Structure 1
């Protein structure tokens, strides 16, 4: 795949993943009622044969080869050193950690809002989850149509979703909260697509695999930290106040990231050390 097609490929991947979540949840609910949970698990296991077949069908000759690190730049330590020297990557990872930990753990805050201020219970949480998945599909379509996926798009999406998150904590009804969740989910997919594109374009080609590993580690650690933290905030402050506080924090961090990126921004497609 040519490098210029990377943003659209990432957007397509997000779109397929989000559409699969929407269709998968709906189909699973129907099958669970029709044939029972044990058969549903068996069907799910069989579907992995399609995944294996798809991987085997990949045309290796059409893959874009990456540069190989020389011996002095090989290994995990060299990869971490590359990230440490690249101010753009450090800013992206810091922003991604805050957004993922305080702004993306909606499995916690949606449940707290549904069972608390909104009074919607389990049914309301199920509805919000479905709306979030639909929003993610829409976000994938938006990201696929964007001609450039640079830092301005990332900052704009992060700022808007942070503001919407703060406002969502003030919503008194399920419909209004669901409408904001739809927009927040769309923004989250745009953020993920831009972030995935930038961490590859703004790193040395021979370091790209290790940079992506760091990116995955940051996302995983953000989920591990943010879930308990948001749960504690919902318990102590109330779900609505927790959403407002977390949204304002992510909005402030987005502003700091915008300032940092304007100083240390690497041109799009650059593979040099920053």
Structure 2
């Protein structure tokens, strides 16, 4: 009995400070994550740093840790934390210019389409015909100036802060996972000959992830909830809107975003990218099932 109690006490003991091993502590450096006692804590903009990281790691052999600060989700802090969002906006604008220049022939070749006869192409086309790229390419197509204007404004307002919080790789994984989930749900539910296009599925994924992040940081949830409700009213209140893409992207964004900001530190990357992989497997399964129904 005494031995069991002793083992339980050892299991619950806190780690020792890396500079004073005899001092137990529950505080870790926000950069290198080593345990530090009160005497070794250096106030930082967020939390505490160890003396080595506060000095830039000089003379400690731990400079690589001090040189690589991490985002909330464990990503590398970049010099321009909004670069990927800027690139995504630039790509969307460039593709829209191509749409205007080439015309319907270009749009009909790459929009989301389950299966239909395309008069311009004079043949049957769609995902059911093996054109799986149509799950991805519609994320960069838009139907009007108003359409792309609202989507790009939303992408900047939501995407830029999320990219800074998650890091570039995790942000991209979230964006494309949400967009593909939106396309897959559209393919499953919408009429096969009903085309759809737009970055809205991915952007609704950013909505979901932003809500999860704000909850994680204990921010006031009312602004993001109000904005989301307004967008959902537009989604179901206006005609010619692929609500399936919005809902699919939103659900995927909440799931993926939760994994991004709540993953345990020890297995963080595995949980984060593993969740993205699970969502993508669901996209593949949905696509196969729907294709089997249409062929």
Q: TM-score, normalised by structure 1?
A: 0.34
Higher helix share: 1
Relative contact order, higher structure (CA 8 A, sep 6+): 1
Q: Which has the larger radius of gyration?
A: 2
Q: TM-score, normalised by structure 2?
A: 0.32
